[in-house]
Amino acid sequence: MSSLPRLWIRLRNGLTRLDDTLFEHTRPSQPSLAAMGLIGALCMLAYYPVWKYALPQPYENLPLRVAGCIVLLPLAMQRWWPRRLRALLPAYWHLAVTFVLPFFAGYMLLRNGGSTPWLLIHLASMYLTMMMFDVVAFGAIFVVGSLLAWLAWMLGSHDPMPLLRLQLYLPLLAMALALGPLASLSQKHADKTRIQALTRASNNIAHELRTPLGALHIAGQAFRRYLPDLLVSHRMAKEAGLPVAELREAHLEALERGMDTIEHEVAHAHTVIDMLLMAARPLDQQQLAPLRIRRLLEEAIARYPYAARVEQERVHLLEGDDFVLMGSEPLLTHVIFNLLRNGLYHTGRAGKGEISIGVEHEGRWGRVRVRDTGPGIPPDVLPRIFNRFYSYSEDRGGVAGLGIGLAFCREAVERMGGTITCRSRWGEYTEFLISLPARDPTARA
């Protein structure tokens, strides 16, 4: 693989990770962003007469406060944002906080000569930023905002820097900077421990379900083996005029169909358990081996436990190329299973659409396209679908899911040196593109 495509992949993955990080930093505050934006905008204006007239400070700046109010008001009105712009909310939230907390408080602290009220306001703004973000995000916001405040102070008209007051403030600031992140780290460790506990619990539940599912499978096989003989015996006894219970033909047919239902549901439950366990397992433990992609897709489509024949008829493997890759068969199979499950679920709810899977091979790269003509994904949701524990349901009464399937898909594909992206037009289609390094097509697999 040449260095340019590898560099492009790293750059794209880096930008994706940055966007995901901004989203994860915003997620805890998102339910209260509107309230914080409105309260913050009101406070920016309400405190002007306080520091200008009631408790006059050496310096006040009404235009800067109005600018802060203008920056915060869009957060208060986020529910009216166009859907295409909502994906920018995490980045805008970070910029708004940088402006109204470390920048504004730092600049006003310097312009007021380190007055006591502004020392307290600056300290409070720092703690407020710590409460809303983790250590890394807080550090970035605090450093950038403080540097911009210092730069603005240097470029404008200003009195000499209040060194004595700042020297007295620095020990308190240093203690806050040292102790504040510890609370964030403790919370992060608690969250990690909670996730690990939930993962272990779900793994134990999944393994415990294997036993009753296995018993149902054995019972189903026994029914399938002996029920036809019993039904034949019942019909013969009835024809001979023997006193046997009355069973209508529809009841007999329902018994025969019940065997198919039992076996299908057991197979489906096993598949879901396998997918959950695969998503919870460290991916670096999966060994890579040469795989021929078309054969893997054919087997995955055949093995997937469809709920009904009509679902199976919706899935089509298109004619096209083939390629060999270094990958993990279980990982890639469960990636396809996840994409099929999502496509079948959404096309089923929409009552329309088909799923087509195509293979392309060009140079050093092979691609798998999984496209469904279902309802599509809203533009504000699309950038977030690969985030772990993020889920969305257009129908508020519907079940949104756990939010681990597509996150697993991305991690699994990246484990094999590739990328997975999604494009969608709301109301028309959704298409996932899996790009993987391809080996020599004549290689054995």
pLDDT digits (tens, 9 = 90+) for 218-256: 777 777 777 777 777 877 877 787 777 776 667 667 766
Q: What is the average pLDDT across 359-381?
A: 89
Residues 6+ apart with CB under 8 A from 430: 343, 346, 371, 372, 374, 376, 377, 422, 423, 424
Query: How confident is the model at residue 306, as a pLDDT?
Result: 82
Radius of gyration of the chain (CA): 30
Query: How confident is the model at residue 398, as a pLDDT?
Result: 41
Task: Please return the burial class of 270, using the count of CB atoms within 10 Å of its CB with bins 0-12, 13-18 and 19+.
Answer: middle
- 437 phi/psi in degrees, rounded to 5: -65, 130
Pairwise CA distance, residues 183 & 189, whole Å: 10
Q: What is the average pLDDT across 400-406?
A: 66
Take residue 19 and report the two structure tokens written for it.
């966007």
- 284 phi/psi in degrees, rounded to 5: -70, -5
Considering the chain, what is the average pLDDT of its residues?
A: 80
Of residues 347, 338, 271, the one with CA closest to residue 313? 347
pLDDT digits (tens, 9 = 90+) for 43-64: 999 999 999 999 999 999 999 9
Residues 6+ apart with CB under 8 A from 154: none
pLDDT digits (tens, 9 = 90+) for 247-299: 666 766 776 667 666 766 677 666 666 666 665 566 666 678 889 999 999 99
Domain ranges across the chain: 3-161, 200-280, 287-437
Of residues 31, 29, 108, 30, the one with CA closest to residue 68? 108
Superfamily grouping for domain 287-437: Histidine kinase-like ATPase, C-terminal domain (3.30.565.10)
Of residues 226, 261, 259, 231, the one with CA closest to residue 247? 231
- 368 phi/psi in degrees, rounded to 5: -120, 125
pLDDT digits (tens, 9 = 90+) for 135-159: 788 888 999 999 999 999 999 887 7
Strand 355-362 versus strand 419-425 pairing type: unpaired
